[in-house]
Structure formats: C-alpha cells, structure tokens
Structure 1
C-alpha cells in the first residue's frame, strides 16, 4: 500500500466533508485508522493534508510526540473546494478582468513584425489573421501568450543578463 494513497486521503476528506461543520463521530478514529492501516501512516497523511491546507487541527503535539486530534479535526474551505472540484468560491471571487486596448493589438503587430525568423509573407498573413479575430479571441490569445511568457521567465532573465554583459 502506498503511504500517501490518494483514494484513502479522499475517503478521509469525504468523511470530514459529510460531518462538516461538526466533528466526525467518536468511533471514527478506528474507522479512519483502519483506512490507513497504521497510526504512523495516518499521522503522516494528516500532517501532509494539513500542510496543504485541506484539513486543520489534525495533530496535537505533546511531549510524547504527535497525536491524532479527532475531536478537533475539520475540513477547510480548500478541502471542500478540492472535493467539489469546481474551483469553489475562489473561482467566482477571484475573477481577473483583462481589458484590451487598441495599443495591445498594435503591440502584437509590432512583435510579429520584429520577428527575425518569420518571412515577410508569413508576418503579413499572421497580422491579417490577427486583425480579423473578434475581441474575445484576441483576449484569449493575449492571455495564452502572457501565460507562456511567464512560463519562460527564467529564460528571459538569462537573456537580459547576457545582453547586459555585452553592453
């Protein structure tokens, strides 16, 4: 058995989800312990899930070492959102509004024209396609380009450092 078995972790989260906002029943410790097979594996998983913010109050740290704290064990908002797999309220509350101005389209055209790897014909075709896109498609394209640019941020820093060394 895998020490950090995802299906077993999900069962524990579901048990806490079903009991929310109350604690799980007193007899739950034995059923939870049976799920994980040993107290050591249970402790490891509780610590792991708590470190990821999916549960809270899982462990009491005593002089004798960590102990399971079933009466106080609760699922968090992040644990609930994880189980529901719908993005939760964060998907609703953390909406990012991206406004595109005419300058954005002009800047995209400038970037295309400054390319040294594309032919003039390819550049013209790409700009023509870009101009024919509806605003929503341009927005989606810009978001994807921004995401890919952020993914390559370490490469950009290296290029800047190289350029500064030659100046």
Structure 2
C-alpha cells in the first residue's frame, strides 16, 4: 500500500473544503484521520499536504515526533486544487506580454516590401495595427516557425546580424 495514497489525500482535502470556513468538528476530524492506516502515515500525509501549501496541518514537532495541536484547515491553494479551476490564482497571476513598437514596425516593413498591390498592403497594415497583443504574439511565433523551417535561407541573415552586433 502506498503511504501517499492520492484518493485518501483527496478525501481529506474534500473534508476540509466542505467544512471551510468553519473548523472540523471532533467527529469530522476523527473520520478524516481514520481514513489513514496509522498515525505515522497520517502525520506523513498532513506534512506532505502542508508543504505543498494545500493545508495547515495543525501538527507541531515535539521531543518524540509530531503532535496534533490545532485542527487542520484548508488553504486558498487547497480550495483552488479541489475546485480544479485554477481559482483566483489563475486570474490574479496573469502575466502581461508587451511587444515593443519595433516588433510591429518590423511586421509592417515585411508587408511593405512584399510583392503585393499597394491597396492590399495598406489593408494588411491597418489590420495589423488593430490586432490585440496575443494575436501579434501568435503571428510573430508563426513567422519564427516558418523561418526556422527554412533555416538554410535564414542562416546568412542570422550570421550577418550576429556579426553586426
């Protein structure tokens, strides 16, 4: 039997989630703790979940091992884990990617030198300027991929650039 049994851990987290924001009752705590085969395995799992930031274990280290001095409680990370939706962390931890004006200018320059009618070039540049940043990022990555796939043709350009830097 695996000491770190995922279904038992999930059951324990679910019990804390269901009780939140209240503390577990004595009966609830006993029921959850009894799902583990022995005290050593219980302690190991509570510490494991705590080290991952999913719970406050309520354990305190003493002279002869750990003792439960407070009732375990679920953390915000534990709630997000149980909900399995990324939680507020997914919303609050959004990273912004900024593109320099030079990136957009470089894309415009590529369009300007393309063998296309001026009317079509103007339309493409206009649409490019209206694109949100994630679309520009996607376009830039697509162009980079095409460049890598045609690496033999791109190598002289890369070499020329690296020599000039």
TM-score over 0.5 for the alignment? yes
Structure 1 residue 49: deviation in Å?
Answer: 0.5
1:93/1:64 CA distance change after superposition, 3 Å = same
Equivalence map 1:73-92=2 (5 Å):
73-92=72-91
Structure 2 runs not aligned, ≥5 long: 108-113, 115-124, 143-165
Counterpart in 1 of 2:30?
A: 30
Q: Is the 8 A contact 1:13 1:83 kept in 2?
A: yes
For structure 1, list consecutive stretches of 5 or more residues without a partner in the other structure.
Answer: 109-123, 125-130, 145-167
Q: TM-score, normalised by structure 2?
A: 0.62
Structure 1 moving runs of 4+ over 6 Å: none
- Of the three residues 136, 140, 148, the one matched with 1:138 is 136
- Indicate the residue corresponding to 1:56 in structure 2: 56
Which residue in the other structure is 1:3 paired with? 3
What TM-score comes out, normalization by structure 1 length? Answer: 0.62
Query: Which of these two proteins has the greater Rg computed from alpha carbons?
Result: 2
Residue in 1 that maps onto 2:156: none
**Conserved 8 A contact 1:47-1:58:** no
Q: Distance in 2 between matches of 1:79 and 1:141?
A: 37
1:41 matched to which residue of 2? 41
Q: CA RMSD in A?
A: 3.3
**Residues 111-157 of structure 1, C-alpha deviation per residue, up to 9 Å, x if partnerless?**
xxxxxxxxxxxxx9xxxxxx99855333246689xxxxxxxxxxxxx
Q: Which residue of 2 aligns with 1:157?
A: none
| 2:46/2:57 contact within 8 Å kept | no
For these two proteins, the number of residue pairs brought into alignment is 128
1:105 CA displacement: 4.8
Q: CA deviation at 1:45?
A: 0.3
Q: CA deviation at 1:41?
A: 0.7
